[in-house]
Amino acid sequence: MTALPSAAPDASGPDAGGPAATDSAPPGPWLLGVRHHGPGSARAVRAALEAARPRAVLIEGPPEADGLLALAADPDMRPPVALLANVVDDPRRASFWPMAEFSPEWVALRWALDAGVEVRFIDLPAAHSLAAAEELPENEPEAEEGAPDERPALRIDPIGVLAETAGYDDPEAWWEDVVEHRDGTPGADPYGPFTVLGEAMTALREAYGDGGHARDLIREAHMRQQLRAARREFGDGVAVVCGAWHVPALAEKTTVAADRALLKGLPKVKAELTWVPWTHRRLARHSGYGAGIDSPGWYGHLFGAPDRPVERWMTKVAGLLREEDRQVSSAHVIEAVRLAGTLAAMRGRPLPGLTETTDAVRAVMCEGSDVPLALVQDRLVVGDVLGEVPDAAPAVPLQRDLTRAQRSLRLKPEALERELELDLRKETDAARSRLLHRLSLLGIGWGERSASRGSTGTFRESWRLRWEPELSVRVAEAGVWGTTVLAAATARAESEAVEATVLGEITALAERCLLAELSDALPVVMRALADRAALDTDVAHLAQALPALARTLRYGDVRGTETAALGEVATGLAERICVGLPPACTGLDADGATEMRRRIDDVHTAMALLPEAPEGPTTLRDRWASVLTRLAGRDTVAGEIRGRAVRLLLDDGRLDDTEVERHMGLALSVGTPPGEAAAWIEGFVGGASGGGMLLVHDERLLALVDTWLTGVPADAFTDVLPLLRRTFSAYEPGVRRTLGELVRRGPGTTGPAPADAGAPGFGAGLDEERAAAVEPLLRLLLGASTHGPGALPEPSGHPASDHLAGVGK
């Protein structure tokens, strides 16, 4: 056990109050060095506190949160949770202090609250730690007299160094063997682990220095100051729970003046703190949290299991695999436990660790496959546990409004991703859709739109929901826009409309406003849209903006929103596109033609959604068809665009088969360069437009393509091959196979197929010997004999006709 030298007279005494320490407890203060989120450390902390019975408990954490500590005893507080600190004027600058049920800090906090003793946080205040890192002074302590001139400035992993020293190549395995798997034998010294860790960290800091991080020195100076203050108030009956690396620094003999010098002139910001839910997944190291662990689910199991942790773990794994319809029996569990114990013995480990249990599960329950093992890793080793915070915890008004909406709509935040299907004709589902769209506009990505399953109608929406702890920060950031979700989303939309410079951005914003039903924001967005549309002369920008407007009008119909003004803007854009598109399609290179072809596809779809004006000799769709006709017949337009124009006219019934054949014949004539002809084919039958089925059902067009392709010169064939492969590789395998059969047979060149030609992919004639071999099996399947009712007819000499006749009966 590491003890501090006395810095003040002992204020404790028989009348000082508070729980009494046991007679075997060493003199305080008690420095309990831990590993963050270590269940072994948590058990050791609890045992040491029970033995020492300190009058005050000091924990590594932001002191501004002292007023929130009592909430840890609230029945509605369920870890994992985290303290969230953010800058008041800039909520994006935030920090978290996560705690799980097996975190030593959480165990110390709950013990102090249950015991009724003083509990405080003593780390550097969040007001300083949230200040910009580059503003922190690079304070380096002056070398003491007699100290070496150079101190190593190497940032190390203490656990890794100790594990390597002990002969382990895996720091996690060493920590499990030394700390996590301590059996807690009755009568064992509760201070032993902290004494050993304190001595080890002292040796490491003597060998490697302070680790080369100036902020650690500042934090430790502040913790020493807080410890001195606590000892003046409570005497030596003080326990400190902090990272093991800091123990030597807290035990170090330093002067008050030296610590004050380190803390002088620190930058400071105004910070606010609260409790927020956390997840096991965010405790995992791969999530980016610096003090994370690889296996929070496993550590939670070790902390919560009263006995036989390996057996209980294997039972959990078996239950999970059974839920996934895998055959796992009790015998599998028994064998997996035995194998894990054998592996631990062979590897010289005191108890099976996560490595041994994982190897045993893979071999016994997963039959050597890593696929079900990945499920175990995701669901159990890491886990999807989401903590809960009581309503009494401080929160920004926007968070409170969001919480009320979630409860009203029965949308509980969950760590596990889930699918949500919404029917917008139902009031509750429509309200859920509005909430998710408003949050998306605010940058709070709780839900993500996905393709709807089983329905493509506008009344259906599909969402993937998953609540991440970082979203609490996003809510705090969005709080600057308003105190309710509706008000904040409206203000954000209005601001984006004013600041948007690209027409497409405003049209997309208008669509999002309509989906979120932000009726107050729509007038501002519409004015910005009309102003930007009047000034923008780029046809590509207009073509990019129109589809969003058309979709917005459609969604307006679904939700019953007034969209007359939006329809006028959309019609105006469509008119300008019809005028400016033909010149814009002239002189484009291959990439520009491909991009413009996509724009034309989008505009064509949008035109079908726009309302028709009641007056005028021609409709908007007629004018659009006229534009496509001009593009199809203009030689200066790229082949890909001309081919697409012909295809769109054909699909709309504006061109008959003869006209299409004429256009294709001209495009694939001998005088057309092969590359230009290939581009025309790409525009006509490429992409996901059903061009393959068009060629299957119209063998005249297929014959034109086949004739052109066979006539391409050898030196030009290599140039057009990549484009053709891209075109035809997008077809379904069945379509490609049928086209191959038609080409092999010679479509359109030999007239109708002969009667004995057979279907594509089958032989031309009938194999009577193979057909006859089926007859006994067919009789057995039909349960028919050769006599009586239901009997198959007598053989007529033609096996195939006999079989078909029998099936017909």
Residue 200 scores a pLDDT above 90: no
> What is d(CA 685, CA 707) in angstroms, rounded to the nearest whole number?
16
> In what helix (H) or strand (E) does residue 511 lie, and over which residues does it extend?
helix 503-515
Which of 7-16, 199-208, 212-221, 496-505 shows the lowest mean pLDDT across its residues?
A: 7-16
Angle (CA) 706 707 708, round 5°: 90
Range picked from 264-278, 535-549, 710-724 for highest mean pLDDT: 264-278
DSSP state of 586: B
More confident residue, 194 or 548: 194
Encode pLDDT of 464-477 as tens digits: 998 888 888 788 87
Encode pLDDT of 308-361 as tens digits: 999 999 999 999 999 988 999 999 999 999 999 999 999 888 888 889 999 999
**Percent above pLDDT 90 for the chain:** 26
> What is d(CA 788, CA 129) in angstroms, rounded to the nearest whole number?
95
Which runs of consecutive H residues, i.e. helices, occur in 152-264?
A: 158-165, 171-175, 192-208, 214-234, 247-251, 256-263
pLDDT of residue 155: 60
**CA dist 493 to 403, 446, 565, Å?**
22, 18, 18
Band the pLDDT of 803: cuts 50, 70, 90: very low
Among 402, 396, 400, 482, which residue's Cα sits nearest to residue 94?
396
Q: Which residues of 144-169 are buried (b: 16+ CB within 10 A; e: fewer)?
A: eeeeeeebeeeebebbbbbbeeeebe
pTM above 0.85, yes or no: no
**Percent above pLDDT 70 for the chain:** 81
